[in-house]
Amino acid sequence: MLKASWVEPENNMGDVCPLFRKKFHINKSISSALLRVSARGVYEAVLNGRRVGCFVLAPGWTAYERRIQLQEYDITSLIEEDNTLTLLLAKGWYMGSIDTYTEDRLKGRSCAVIAELTLTYADGSVDIIGTDNTWQTSQSGLRFCDIYHGMIFDASFEADFCGNAVVSVNNGQDTLIPQQGPEIIENERLRPVEILHTPAGETVVDFGQNITGYPEISVTAELGDRIKLSFAEVLDSNGNFYNANYRTAKCLYEYICRDGQQIYRPSLTFYGFRYVRIDEFPVDIRPENIIAVVVHSELRQTGRITTSDPLLNKLFQNILWGQKGNYLDIPSDCPQRDERLGWTGDAQAFIRTACYNYDVRRFFTKWLSDMRVEQLKSGAIPDVIPAVFTGIHSPAWGDAVTICPWQLYMTYGDRSFLSFMFDSMKKWVDYITSVTKDKGLWTGGKTYGDWLELKAPKGHRKGYTRDELIATAFYAYSSELVCKAGRVLGIDISKYEELHSEIVARFKAVFEDDFRTQTEHILPLYFGLTDRPDRVAESLVAMIHADGDKLQTGFVGTPYLLHVLSNNGYSEIAYELLLRKDFPSWLYPVTKGATTMWEHWDGLKPNGEMWSAEMNSFNHYAYGAVGDWMYGVCAGINPVEQAPGFARVHFAPISTERIDFFRAELDTDHGKICSEWHHENGVTVYEITTPVPSTALIEGKNYELRAGVHRFENNKKVV
Ligand code: BGC
């Protein structure tokens, strides 16, 4: 419990961001200074002109009505004799225009900060300085700041601090929780790769990489000079700046200069961009005037893939960038347009790849904690977490509640993901049981279908895959995951075992032998809902051929497509799809210069046109889910259910003549795992490094492996 109060400026400042200030004098030797801060909004704390900590957009985004993270900074080294502590507050996700769907959530809200500084002196005495009505307030140079709409900063503005803070009406502290997720930080700085002059006569800086973050500008200017930038992810087919796909997100970047040399970067908003159009700038822009600062949650990279195929390598890099760009405190769908929401369906589709690429434990602990508190009484899971709206509770979206904890348990071997989420997992399954119109099936609900499936009725974003097939398949999968989790936790799950058997039986009775789309084949194969996997796989392959050897899947089918092919003896077809360069395919965007994953297989069409501006993100990680096939099948690095967290590994690499060399490595709590293969004089050589005793299945033969390095060729183990 803090002694401080939540405070706001006494006068409403409209769009202008308020500053709060406290001056204090120290006259004794100090042994420590600990600052705790949080905000309803986003804040930046500055002590004696120096930024406190490196958390950008603190306190992050949570289900604010229930949980707001409180940050702690050790600021001992920043303390002087005379001190000025200021807090700059912007609307952020709390009150900004983050939700275009409803204004309701803003009712009764106002932005506020809370801060408490604990000064411990060498003589053991303690002073506490907390936000209260003695703090001064002022308008700041940040004249406007919003997540979607960007910012306007006036560097010439002089704060006067003639106002006072008032204690918020809503002064409770029960929502404050210790910092739970990783901090959002500035991770990289990219220099321009080119300054372009487009056919339309515009000056556009190309950073060579689609990122999430903001530009830092550095310029010598005169008072009142203006800088105005615009953002885009792509150029159109004529090489012109194009950002109609940002929809209503204004993404303003307007800066009014003071006199002299100045460096500025925003810190209370962010943009998704590769290109920056220079609408106004005091000098002819040069590369040294602008840098792109990459911002995302602090994550340790754990997985790496390198191959002999440059396009595949680029795809892997794009998958990583897709994750970085969208793991900004929550797993978002995209970082640029007026959305940037924690869409559950996208998060579950990508989580396996995510867990290979980076250590996402803390990241998901926080997000799942929000999911837990946002789950509705009925057991329904809102479509986006934090739940700025609750949505339709679609299958494959709500199932994030079972799929994510299970994957985290498998990757990290930590049962607490399951124990923490078990009730929510059950409640979701019970919810389906309570709303379905047909026992053992999930019928009658609303769904997003196989979102963005390629073949779709005109004007529709859902393909032809039947709602009730998807819904029932995920109902089966979620109930199975409840059973698995219950077994790990030693909880009686007989009710869910019965339910699962019933759903499987009903699914088979209703759908077996009548699968009409690729995804309709994929789901029963992957979720074990068919008695005749051979026939279904054969029929899937026939359908892929009939579709011109092309995938047709959307968000729901795509993550499992290559798995069901390789699981059923069709790995060469899976490789063909993986390596295909023409639309539709994973490499098609790469051939078009993509640096992140696209929302649509044809975000930029072969004829140069854009998919409709109304929904066309070039940084949407969902189709990056193919990364887990690259780790798990190409390199064959798999966790084992009986010894999760890679305490044992099951290596099952499947090589192909289409690629000369493939290597993946993975840092685990047990050590580094590597798996690679290459072709040498007509034979494929596999090399596996395992830090733990493991099993391997290589070219049809099983091996027990000791910890160490192992080499296989000509169908035998040679080292
Ligand atoms: C988002 C998706 C999301 C979907 C729901 C879109 O607007 O960008 O990624 O899953 O809505 O179908």
User: In terms of Cα–Cα distance, which of 142, 139, 143 is closest to 162?
Assistant: 139
Residue 246: closest CA among 266, 228, 232: 232
The pLDDT value given to residue 100: 55
What's the full length of the chain, in residues?
719
Cα 159 to ligand 1 centre (Å): 42
Measured by CA distance, the residue closest to atom 11 of ligand 1 is: 343
CB distance 343 to ligand 1 below 6 Å: yes
Q: How far is CA 555 from the centre of its chain?
A: 15
CA atoms within 13 Å, Cβ hemisphere of 458: 0
Angle at 114 between CA 110 and CA 118, to 5 degrees: 175
Contact, 449 vs 467, CB < 8 A?
Answer: yes
What are residue 687's DSSP bridge partners?
676, 711
Q: What is the DSSP letter of 200?
A: T
User: If you measure from the C-alpha of residue 660 to the centroid of ligand 1, how many angstroms do you get, rounded to a whole number?
Assistant: 37
DSSP 183: P
pLDDT the model gives residue 683: 95
Q: Are 520 and 466 in contact (CB under 8 A)?
A: yes
Angle between helices 558-567 and 533-546 (to 10 degrees): 120
Backbone angles phi, psi at 59, to 5 degrees: -90, 20
DSSP-derived letter for residue 649 is E
Stated as kind and residue range, the H or E segment containing 89 is strand 82-90
29 DSSP assignment: -
C-beta of residue 270 within 8 angstroms of C-beta of residue 335? yes
Q: How far is the CA of 341 from the centre of ligand 1 (A)?
A: 9
Cis amide linkage into residue 653, ω under 30° from 0: no
The answer, yes or no, to whether any atom of ligand 1 lies below 6 A from the CB of 345, is: yes
The model's pLDDT over 437-453, given as tens digits with 9 standing for 90+, comes to: 999 999 999 999 999 99
d(CA 40, CA 57): 11
DSSP 169-225: S----TTEEE--SPPEEEEEEE--SEEEE-TTS-EEEEEEEEEEEEEEEEEEE-TT-
Ligand 1 centroid vs 397 CA: distance in angstroms? 10
Q: How much is the pLDDT for 459?
A: 82
- Mutation to probe ligand 1, out of 330, 346, 450 (largest number of atoms < 8 A from CB): 346
Instruction: Report how far residue 333's alpha carbon sits from residue 98's, in angstroms, rounded to the nearest whole number.
Output: 13
Residue nearest to atom 8 of ligand 1 (CA): 333
Question: Helix-strand-coil percent breakdown of the chain, rounded to 5?
Answer: 30, 30, 40
Residue to mutate (ligand 1; options 148, 451, 612; most atoms within 8 A of CB) = 451
Q: Is the CB of 451 under 6 A from ligand 1?
A: yes
Catalytic residues: 339, 599
**Which residue is associated with the tokens 């003549």?**
657
Distances (CA, A) of 489 to 344, 417, 483, 644, 661: 25, 11, 10, 14, 41
| β 176-178/68-74 pair status | parallel
Residue with tokens 């960007």: 150
Q: So what's the pLDDT on residue 118?
A: 98
- Distance, CA of 485 to CA of 480 (rounded, Å): 9
Regions in the chain scoring below 50 on pLDDT? none
- pLDDT (0 to 100) of residue 288: 98
